[in-house]
Every structure is written in structure tokens, then in C-alpha cells.
Amino acid sequence: MVYTIASPDEYLAITGAGIRTLKIVKSAWVWPFQRCQRFSIQPKDYSMSLQAMTREKLQFLLPVVFTVGPDVNQRGAAAGQAPRDTGNVESNPEDHGDALVKYAMLLADAERDAKGASKGQHIENIVKGIIEGETRVLVSSMTMEEIFTEREEFKRRIFRNIQGELDQFGLKIYNANVKELRDAPQSSYFESLSRKAHEGAINQARIDVAEAQRKGNVGEAARQGEQNREIAKINAETAVQKTERDSEKAKAEATLATRKTAFNRDVNIAQIEATRATEARDEELRKEVETKRAQTELERLRATDVVKATIARESKQQAADAKNYEEQARSNAALYSEQKAADAHAYKVRIEAEARYLAAAKDAEALLVRQQKEAAGMTAMAGAYADLSRAFGGPAGLIQYLMIEKGVYTQLAKANADAVRGLNPKMTIWNTGAQAGSENGSAEGGMGGVSSIRNMYQMLPPLMSTINEQTGIVLPEWQFGKLAGQISEREVNGKPVNGLGAKST
């Protein structure tokens, strides 16, 4: 048993044997199976800088300082003795309205909930949370003008709202101080208001001085100057509005042009892609047609050779059979006419017929084997030609290769050379166009003859294209290209083509 006395700024909270809930006293005997806890009733200052938002969505910093502590003046039925059960359903069986009991219970909860932190920090968090929440709720329902013009009413409403929340913890606001409002980060509202007020005062002073001077010295001239200023202001505002409209129009036109360009570009790209896809598909179909055509031709050639060989073999077989039958009939007739004398002759004839039959059969079989081998050779050759056709890019390439291999181009060149050997051709060109009046020996006349020859050679590419479309044969274009290059070079140098002069009449 220990007699315990609290300091002047402290109270004792006793629980345990003989005490139903909690007893708050300044001094008492602490009996066994009882527990005594001291707690201070000194108020504490809670300073915060709250970031709040008004009803107009304006953010600002609200510096506040609240002095909060236990309410020692609000003592209930638990003051000095255990509470009695009055049967009132609405009464709190734990505190019975005693603020110190509520505060002591808050300290006990803080002691249980605090994990590594002090009890004071836990209570500070609760108090600051209440102050911050109620202040923000109140500020969000007011405008900035109401906060400025009704500063005292704003302070009283904050005090009333926060005190209502702190009563449940047995705490009391002893003092509330709301400092000057400040701008939130990245905000310059109050700075702008201050600058506006300052500039307004300066401008008002200037206006007063100008008004005094106008009345005292200038008079009508000052009024005329004021009129000119208003006119200039109106003209300036009109020019500014016109400039803004022109700028908006130019931006709209630039945006429209940009979108049109992008749309046209997309359309062109889509068209090019479609054309490329169509060309690629056309090439694929053309290759498939050429492949099937070559396969069909190969099968036709193979079938033709086999049919020819079969017909030849059957024809020879029928001829041999007919000849054999004829010989047998002749032998039978001779046998009937000359029975005894013709036995030997008939035997001889039969032997000879059999020999001839065997020889004919052997010849037919040899011919069949030779024709089969020829058909197999033609089939292999057709397959080789098909491979060569694919290797040279189509039938036209194969034909050019075969013509080169067989020496056709060389023979043609030799025949052309033999045809013109010993000739001394002369060329007469009649110009009826713009060059008709040129002199024979002038450079302009020489160029006219070359131009006529060039025009004649320009007719060859369309002719070659027509031959290619109708027959599938591609002529050697490199000769004409080389000749065209020589003609162009000699035209530049002013020389005759291939040593031949052009005569213009």
C-alpha cells in the first residue's frame, strides 16, 4: 500500500481492485492489485500550415496555432468516486461526462497503439488530424472574400467545429490563432492581390494629381487629351482584336492545309501500294500460266511420241502377220497340188517364212526400242528446255540463247554483210519541215540529215515492242541502244553518222 500524490499540473488515474472503471484524483492510497498512472494536464501548442481550397477552387496556405489541453473544468460523476448505475440508457458507463476520464482513456489507447512512438506523438496526430479535417471542410464551404471580410466569424466557426470533435477525447481549445493567409506552392493569388492593391493606390494617386492639374492648370486641354487617350485606347483594342482574329484565321488555314497534305499523302501511298500489289499479283499469275503452258506442251509432246511409236509397232506387226498368212496359203496350195514332191519344198518354204517372221519381229522390236529411246530423249530435252526457259526468264530468253548457241546471229550478220558488200549506197533526204530551207554545207543542214536518221531509228523500239507482243520474241535491244548513243554523240560533235554524209535537197 502506497500513498501517492500528484504534482500541481498532474492527475492520478487509478484502476484495479475496488474500482469499477477508472478513478481520477490528485492523491490517494494505492492498494495492492491496483495500478496508478500519472498524466499531465498542461496544454500544448499545435502549429500547422494547412493547404486548403475555397469554394472557388483557390488553393492557399492557412497557418494556424491551436493551444489544446485536457478540460479540467468538465468533471462528471466519476470525479472523486466510482460512478453509480442510474439506469440511464444514454449515459456512458465508462466516463459519465468526465473529461479527464476521457483523456486518461485516450492516453491508455495511445500507449497500446503506439509502436515505437511516444504517447504524445499519437495524441498530436489525432489533434492535428481533427484540426486539419475540420478546417478544410469549413474553408471549402466559404469563398475567399468571406474568409477575408469575416475573419472573426471564420475563427469562431473553426473553434466551434474543432471543439465539438475534441470533446469526445476530453480535450479543450484554450486558444486559436489564425495567421495571415499565404500563397500555396505554384500559386501567386495573394501576391497578385497585394500587387493589385499597391498598383491601384499608386494609380489612384496619379489620377488624383492629374485631376488636380487638369482642374487647376490645363482645363479644357486636359479634357481634350483625355478624349484623345480614350480614342487611342479604343483604336488599340480594335487593332488587337483584329490581330487576334487574323492570327486565329491563319492558324485555322495552316491546320487545314496540313491536314489536306497529310490526307493526300495517305491517299497517294495507298494508291501506290495497291498498284504495287496488283503488279506483283499479275507477275505471279503470269508465271503460273507460263509454267502450266510449258507442262502442257511437255505432256503433249510426250503423248505424241508414244502414239507414233505404238502406231508404227502395230503397223509392222500387221504387215508381218499378213505376209505370214500369204506364205502359209501359198504353201498349202502347193501342198495340195504336189503332195509328195512338195513336202520338202513346203518344209523349206515354212522354214524360210519362219526365219523372215523372226527377222521382221526383231526389226519391229528394235524399231520400237529405238523410238522409245528417242521419245525418252525428247522428253528429257523438253524438261531441259523448260529448265532453261525458267533460267533465262521465259521462252523469249530461251529463244535468244538457242539463236546464240546455233550461231543464228552470226549467220544473219554474215548474210547482211554479203548482201551489202561492194555496194556504194547514196542517201538522199528531203526535209519538208522546219529544216527545209537550210544550206547543204551548213551545220544546220547536216544536223537535219542526222535528225532524219534518228527519227527513222526512233521507229524501231515500237516495232520491236509489236514483234514481242505478237510473237513473244525479244530482239537484241543493245545494238539499237549502242547505235542511238553513237548517233547522239556525232550530233553533238557535228560529224556524219558512220562516216556517211547526209545530203539535203
Q: Cβ of 56: how many Cβ atoms within 10 Å?
A: 9
Predicted confidence band at 91 (pLDDT cuts at 50, 70, 90)? Answer: very low
Predicted confidence band at 505 (pLDDT cuts at 50, 70, 90)? Answer: very low
In this predicted structure, the answer to whether residue 483 has a pLDDT above a threshold of 60 is no
pLDDT for the residue numbered 449:
62
pLDDT in tens, 193-210: 666 666 777 777 778 777
Q: What does the block give as the cell for 480?
A: 539499237
Q: Stretch 218-235: mean pLDDT, rounded?
A: 82
In this predicted structure, the answer to whether residue 85 has a pLDDT above a threshold of 50 is no
Pairing verdict, β 10-16 and 34-40: antiparallel
Q: Is 407 or 205 the better-scoring residue by pLDDT?
A: 407
Q: Is 159 or 95 the better-scoring residue by pLDDT?
A: 159
Q: What does the block give as the cell for 271?
A: 494508291
Cα 244 from chain centroid (whole Å): 36
pLDDT for the residue numbered 72:
83
Q: Stretch 292-299: mean pLDDT, rounded?
A: 85
Q: Please, what is the angle between helix 99-113 and helix 119-140, to 10°? A: 110
Predicted confidence band at 80 (pLDDT cuts at 50, 70, 90)? Answer: very low
pLDDT for the residue numbered 81:
45
Average pLDDT, the chain: 76
Q: Stretch 271-299: mean pLDDT, rounded?
A: 87
Q: State how far the Cα of 137 lies from the Cα of 161, in Å rounded to an integer.
A: 10
In this predicted structure, the answer to whether residue 425 has a pLDDT above a threshold of 60 is yes
Q: Stretch 432-461: mean pLDDT, rounded?
A: 59
Q: Which of 504, 241, 85 is nearest to 94 (CA)?
A: 85
Least confident of 23-37, 323-337, 401-415: 323-337
Q: Stretch 346-367: mean pLDDT, rounded?
A: 83
pLDDT for the residue numbered 113:
61
In this predicted structure, the answer to whether residue 260 has a pLDDT above a threshold of 80 is yes
Predicted confidence band at 475 (pLDDT cuts at 50, 70, 90)? Answer: low
Q: Stretch 46-60: mean pLDDT, rounded?
A: 81
pLDDT for the residue numbered 442:
45
What percentage of the chain carries pLDDT values higher than 90? 1
Q: State how far the Cα of 149 lies from the Cα of 158, in Å rounded to an integer.
A: 15
pLDDT for the residue numbered 441:
44
Predicted confidence band at 365 (pLDDT cuts at 50, 70, 90)? Answer: confident
B/e letters for 285-314, b = 16+ CB within 10 Å, e = fewer, are: eeeeeeeeebeeebeeebeebeeebeeebe
Q: What is the DSSP letter of 6?
A: -
Q: What is the DSSP letter of 501?
A: -
Q: Where in the chain is the domain with CATH 3.30.479.30?
A: 2-82+91-181
Burial class (CB in 10 A: 0-12, 13-18, 19+), 388: middle
Q: What does the block give as the cell for 175?
A: 486558444
Amino acid at position 79, single letter: A
> What homologous superfamily is domain 2-82+91-181 in, according to CATH?
Band 7 domain (3.30.479.30)
Least confident of 109-123, 249-263, 362-376, 434-448: 434-448
In this predicted structure, the answer to whether residue 291 has a pLDDT above a threshold of 70 is yes
CA angle, residues 360, 364, 370, in degrees to nearest 5? 145
Predicted confidence band at 169 (pLDDT cuts at 50, 70, 90)? Answer: confident
In this predicted structure, the answer to whether residue 157 has a pLDDT above a threshold of 70 is yes
Q: Stretch 369-386: mean pLDDT, rounded?
A: 84
Contact criterion met (CB below 8 Å) for 400 and 319: no
Is the pTM higher than 0.85? The answer reads no
pLDDT for the residue numbered 115:
53
Predicted confidence band at 342 (pLDDT cuts at 50, 70, 90)? Answer: low
C-alpha dist (Å) from residue 192 to 59, 182, 183, 341: 14, 12, 10, 157
Q: What does the block give as the cell for 195?
A: 500587387
pLDDT for the residue numbered 178:
78
Predicted confidence band at 216 (pLDDT cuts at 50, 70, 90)? Answer: confident
Q: Stretch 26-46: mean pLDDT, rounded?
A: 87
In this predicted structure, the answer to whether residue 78 has a pLDDT above a threshold of 60 is no
